[in-house]
Amino acid sequence: MVYSLYRYRWLLYELVLRDIVLRYRGSVLGLAWTFLNPLLTMAVYTLVFSIYLRVGIPNYAVFLLSGLLPWLWFAGAISAGATSIVDGRMYVSRSVFSPILLLLVPVCSQAVNFLLSIPLFFGIAAIFGVHVGWPILVFPVLMGIQFLLVLGILMTLATLNVFFRDLQQLTATILSLLFYLAPIIYPLQSVPAAFRPFVFVNPMAALTIGYQDILFYDRLPSPVLTGYAFAVALVLCAIGRGVFNRYRDAFADYA
């Protein structure tokens, strides 16, 4: 499998490029949408939670953005990736590269979008006077864990979606629930202590807190939480790999 992926690495590159370029081809603002979507979301949430509901965090916009941008990568990749094998049925039944490649496309293209939105974050942080220091060096580690996490979930999800197409509807609902259950629009401290363990059932919760540590609080993320996130990602990858390999020969028949 690794050899097959390595051989087709240029195809992956090209498909990711297409995914990014074609999404905005024909739109007037083009790549600016990469910035505009999170910016508008940030503006509305800041208005609602910082001004209307008075969540007591100084520089709320920066706090929000530090958790929101990774979330957009997560949610974008999951919702696009859930259907990727079904959408790529032409490839699955007529070419010989591993369908894992079709899962990697949304994960990578959303990761690129995420990276492109980082300058936006620094711009907003500078405006609010939030300092981002050397803990940023750990940023790639969190990205790596998130990459594994998304890929692991997608291997299971996209495989099951070949057989049960309505999983994609369910996915949209679950994603919006997980968004509110992750400490993105509120800090973990505002969750009553009794409920806190349940927060971490959400696979993005520990990573969200890690990103906030780096980007907002200017401190190293907790090794325990990061290790936990890594362990969850590995387990989901192992499960996903099992499910995917079990059913991949059937993709060409069903997709």
- Provide the binding-site residues for another protein, judged by CB under 8 A: 7-8, 10-11, 14, 18, 22, 25, 90-97, 164-167, 170, 249, 252-254
| Of 11 and 141, CB closest to another protein | 11
Tell me the C-alpha to C-alpha distance, in Å, between residue 125 and each of 16, 135, 210, 219, 229.
Answer: 29, 15, 17, 15, 26
Least CB distance to another protein at residue 64 (A) = 34
Least CB distance to another protein at residue 112 (A) = 18
| Of 37 and 98, CB closest to another protein | 98
| Of 86 and 150, CB closest to another protein | 86
| Of 166 and 193, CB closest to another protein | 166
Q: CB of 228 within 8 A of CB of 206?
A: yes
The CA-based angle 39-42-25, given to 5 degrees, is: 30
Of 91, 249, 75, 253, nearest to 149 by C-alpha is 75
Least CB distance to another protein at residue 80 (A) = 17
Tell me the C-alpha to C-alpha distance, in Å, between residue 252 and each of 44, 144, 154, 247.
Answer: 44, 31, 18, 10
Least CB distance to another protein at residue 157 (A) = 13
